[in-house]
A and B are shown apart, each in its own frame.
Chain A
Amino acid sequence: MLLVVTYSRAARQTLRNVCNAHEESVVRRLGRAAMFEESAMGAFLGLRLREKHGADVQLERTVPFNEFETVGEEVRSAAAAYESREHPSTPYAKFAAGTDHPSPDALRGRDLTEDGRD
């Protein structure tokens, strides 16, 4: 999908107008941002916005997230385990210490991959 983020009042207003006028090309509205369908129409709308508002419009293309492809089992199970922790106030760093779960630093240092292998 195409992610459009606006950074000024005027650009935000134009985005609203565009979203109202082209509902069929808008996948989701997120306040001052929106996701457009990945079509030439979506691109056209995004480019029009940037043409009008320059640096106050950011256009990005998003990639679907598949955790089975982009992160290892270790990361998935760490997330699941942390969310079912006993004490909600335990920070992740403390939770992970002394276990097989990766430390916050290890997580930060690891890029996403395409095949799920670490």
Chain B
Amino acid sequence: MPIVDGERGRAFDLRDSEYEVAAVAAAIRSNSDDDSDASDDSPLTVRCPEPGEIHDHVGIVEPDRSYPLQTALAEVARVRGHESSVDEALADVREELAALDLPSVSLEAKRRQVAETDDAAGLEEQVATLRGELEAAKDRGEDPAALADARERAVADLTERRTERLAAEQSLERARTDAREARDRREERLRLQDRERNLERDARRELAGELQSSFERALSALGACGSGAVDGASDGYGANDSDVVSDRYGASDANAPASVDGPDAIGALAVCRIAPISAPVVVAGEWFASATAAAAALDAPVILVEA
């Protein structure tokens, strides 16, 4: 089994091998799970430290993929010890969410009960029929005792059924009232979840914003690498004039930190450059002339693969 040994080097070039991005990425990830089990079905073994969250976000660089650059940049900021102004509010919301007790709501049994006791109409009809028959029997001068008994039984049944139905309806009504409170609680959870998400977004934006200038410098530096290391002719993005490259790869909007004019992938490379990454970054595409140049530019271990 071929082995890429991260302990023996930081720059590996697999572009002439059969290994594709997915296989290499899987090898890096499975390496961290469980050595014994992963080496069995994976065609390749990569010895390296366990990839972290930043690597998960931007560690596999392919030309046409989109990347959660802001999330990744915010993560880098966290690793560097930055905090956001909403961290406390976020912790509070999460605490509230964790403490929320959610009673369940299930009225199904009670709805069914009401539906099933709904046969009073049939009994009413029976009572009416018996009354008619009883009167007819009296008119004919027959002994009405048997019919009178039957009618009495039907009336008793009807009364009982009406009582049952009423009880079932009342029980459902009470359960509905209780359910309102349970749903209030669920509504509160939804409100907290939405607030949590908004705060997370605010925190990400703020944290990513703190690294905006580092990010821009990284983009420029990667553009500058283009004059030597990035293969200028490949797909129209690179160029041999470093100024042109850095222009094209400028950060695009100060209000949306970590956005990039150009392919997302160049942004991912820029995040890799400023992030502390110890698992190898997998780079597909002709961004760099050599694995060594890539490792130097990204300041991280690198495996180059064919795009």
Contacts and interface: CB of A to CB of B under 8 A. Distances in A.
Interface of A: 5, 7-9, 12, 32, 54-56, 58
Nearest to B184: A7
A34 to B, nearest CB: 15
23 contacts: A5-B183, A7-B183, A7-B187, A7-B189, A7-B190, A8-B189, A8-B190, A8-B193, A9-B190, A9-B193, A9-B194, A12-B190, A32-B190, A54-B104, A54-B106, A55-B104, A55-B105, A55-B106, A55-B182, A55-B183, A58-B105, A58-B179, A58-B183
A7 B182 CA distance: 10
| Prevailing SS type, chain B contact patch | helix
Interface in B152-204: 179, 182-183, 186-187, 189-190, 193-194
Nearest to A58: B183
Contacts of B193: 8-9
Counting chain B CB atoms within 10 Å of each CB, the highest count among A32, A55, A58 belongs to A55
A56 B189 CA distance: 11
Contacts of B182: 55
Chain B interface size range: 10 to 19
A59 to B, nearest CB: 10
Contacts of A56: 186
Contacts, number: 28
A56 B183 CA distance: 8
Contacts of A8: 186, 189-190, 193
A61 to B, nearest CB: 12
Interface of B: 102, 104-106, 179, 182-183, 186-187, 189-190, 193-194
Contacts of B186: 7-8, 55-56
Contacts of A55: 102, 104-106, 182-183, 186
A5 B179 CA distance: 13
A56 B104 CA distance: 9
A56 B106 CA distance: 10
Given A7-B187, A55-B183, A55-B186, 9 more contacts: A7-B183, A8-B190, A9-B190, A9-B193, A54-B104, A54-B106, A55-B102, A55-B182, A58-B183
Contacts of B189: 7-8
Contacts of B183: 5, 7, 55, 58
Nearest to A57: B105
Contacts of A7: 183, 186-187, 189-190
Contacts of B102: 55
Nearest to B186: A7
A58 B176 CA distance: 11
Nearest to A8: B190
Nearest to A60: B176
Contacts of A32: 190
A-B interface, 8 closest residue pairs, ranked by CB to CB distance from nearest = A7-B186, A55-B105, A55-B104, A9-B193, A7-B190, A7-B187, A7-B183, A8-B190
B175 to A, nearest CB: 12
